[in-house]
């Protein structure tokens, strides 16, 4: 979870400065002629966890896989007064997760996700 949060923070910082952020992941490919497998670095797509709400403000949601965590009863996002506070908010969320403040929500979401695979 902390790696994904780190990616979100770096993505927000790069968008604020106008720089490019392109993380990579290892991908195994097989040579068609020889059959030898090798790993190459491949650009990784990072989707931002923030969006612009109907009233024009920036909102941040926390994701666990493809699911959005419920931060409070019926609340799935944090609305920011200004887009400039995005990096600070993401760092605050990272600190809260590392401190264990969202453990119950993470466990509940993980349990629901696991049960979806059982048949």
pLDDT tens per residue, range 30-69: 999 999 999 999 999 999 999 998 888 999 999 988 888 8
Question: Mapping DSSP to helix (H, G, I), strand (E, B) and coil, where does residue 44 land?
Answer: coil
- pTM score, whole prediction: 0.78
Q: Which has the higher per-residue pLDDT, 8 or 111?
A: 8
Dihedral sign from CA coordinates of 35, 39, 42, 44: positive
- The dihedral region occupied by 84, where left means phi > 0, alpha psi between -120 and 50, and beta the remainder, is alpha
pLDDT at 104: 80
Report whether 22 contacts 43 (CB < 8 A): yes
Report whether 15 contacts 5 (CB < 8 A): no
Among 6, 1, 22, 12, which residue's Cα sits nearest to residue 67? 1
> How does residue 115 score in pLDDT terms, banded at 50, 70 and 90?
confident
Q: How far apart are CA 110 and CA 95, in angstroms?
A: 20
Question: Mapping DSSP to helix (H, G, I), strand (E, B) and coil, where does residue 65 land?
Answer: coil
């Amino acid at each position: 979870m902390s790696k994904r949060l780190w990616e979100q923070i770096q993505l927000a910082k790069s968008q604020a400065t106008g720089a490019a952020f392109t993380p990579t992941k290892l991908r195994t490919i097989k040579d068609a002629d020889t059959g030898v497998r090798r790993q190459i670095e491949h650009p990784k797509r990072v989707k931002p966890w923030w969006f612009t709400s109907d009233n024009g403000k920036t909102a941040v949601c926390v994701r666990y896989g493809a699911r959005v965590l419920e931060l409070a009863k019926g609340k799935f996002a944090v609305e920011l007064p200004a887009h400039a506070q995005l990096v600070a908010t993401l760092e605050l969320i990272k600190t809260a997760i590392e401190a264990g403040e969202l453990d119950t929500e993470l466990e509940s979401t993980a349990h629901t996700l696991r049960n979806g695979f059982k048949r």
